[in-house]
Chain A
Amino acid sequence: MEAEKLEFFNPKVPLDFQYNNRVGIGIERYLRGLGERKILGSKCPQCGKVAVPPRTVCGKCSATMGEFVEVSQEGTLENFTVGHVQLVKGQRLEKAESPYVVGLVRLDGVDSLLLARISGVDPSDLKVGMRVKAVWRDEVQGDYADLDHFQPA
């Protein structure tokens, strides 16, 4: 077949899907906890590890986790990055108004890392291992945005 003989249609598929995904037992508990300015985790009955946000199966030993525990709101910055672009509506990247910091925080007594925004510190002063604490938004509503960011303790 000669390439120049090809003709193409470029159909636009007029289908846009909407999904309604359930957050499930673990995340629902977590979000309700945030509404009370509490950070909840789940504790493994077998190995004792604590995961935040809570999950229903242990990521260490595969046991079923049913116990939800309140954890400390202070911890250690384990890792971070400084963002200069941001994702708009999940579709395109734009330059951020100012550089921002996203970090992984290990709350005291917790075995998992929590992804969170880090504020109140100049990016050049960030150090792995520094102590941070949770900062809540003024009016908590029981959703993800309640735990606004972490700042140096």
Chain B
Amino acid sequence: MEETRIVHGYWELSTFNFNIEARGINLMLEGFKEKKLKGIKCHQCGMVYLPGPFYCRKCHVNIDEPVEISDHGTVRTYTVQYADIRGEPMPEPRVSAMVQFDGCDSWVMGVVQCDPKDIHVGMRVKIKWKEQTVGNMQDMEAFVPE
């Protein structure tokens, strides 16, 4: 079959406006300024979320109880990246993990500064904070072994 021509179309999502309820993330970012993890706890079932939603995703009641969470936690799952999103090789492998902080039910993702050979499920890690925290996600520089 012979090739037929292409016409281009575009969908510019960047022109869209979204409204996202942000109490939970704002609480978390405020906490970052003091190098603390602040989540929200469900008063009914006790689930602790980080960042916190405004309703409990287990029992569907509105929740607003701030709770401080330890910045030490356990690696629940991990990966070591060798290629970026376009499949291009990374300059060096990068370890990242989903970490459950002590006293929290959510899992949080982030880069782990460790040898790719050492990472394992169950490994204990803590947050390495930036020296000067300003209240954005980059305050959490990485997870490092305890």
Query: Footprint of B on A, CB under 8 Å?
Result: 1, 5-25, 27-28, 31
Establish whether residues B14 and A7, one from each chain, have CB atoms under 8 Å apart when the complex forms: no
20 contacts between A and B (CB under 8 A): A1-B54, A5-B23, A7-B21, A9-B21, A10-B19, A12-B16, A16-B10, A16-B11, A16-B14, A18-B8, A18-B10, A19-B9, A19-B11, A20-B8, A22-B5, A22-B6, A23-B5, A25-B1, A27-B4, A31-B5
User: A28 CA to B7 CA in the complex, in Å?
Assistant: 11
Residues of B within 8 A of A12 (CB): 14, 16-17
B interface, over-half SS: mixed
Residues of B within 8 A of A28 (CB): 2, 4-5
User: A20 CA to B5 CA in the complex, in Å?
Assistant: 9
A interface, over-half SS: mixed
User: A12 CA to B19 CA in the complex, in Å?
Assistant: 10
Count of chain B residues with a beta carbon within 8 Å of a chain A beta carbon: 25
Establish whether residues A17 and B10, one from each chain, have CB atoms under 8 Å apart when the complex forms: yes
Establish whether residues A7 and B22, one from each chain, have CB atoms under 8 Å apart when the complex forms: yes
Residues of A within 8 A of B106 (CB): none
Residues of A within 8 A of B21 (CB): 6-9
A16 to chain B, nearest CB (A): 5
Establish whether residues B14 and A14, one from each chain, have CB atoms under 8 Å apart when the complex forms: yes
Residues of A within 8 A of B7 (CB): 20-21, 23
Q: B136 an interface residue at 8 Å Cβ cutoff?
A: no
Establish whether residues A15 and B14, one from each chain, have CB atoms under 8 Å apart when the complex forms: yes
User: A14 CA to B16 CA in the complex, in Å?
Assistant: 10
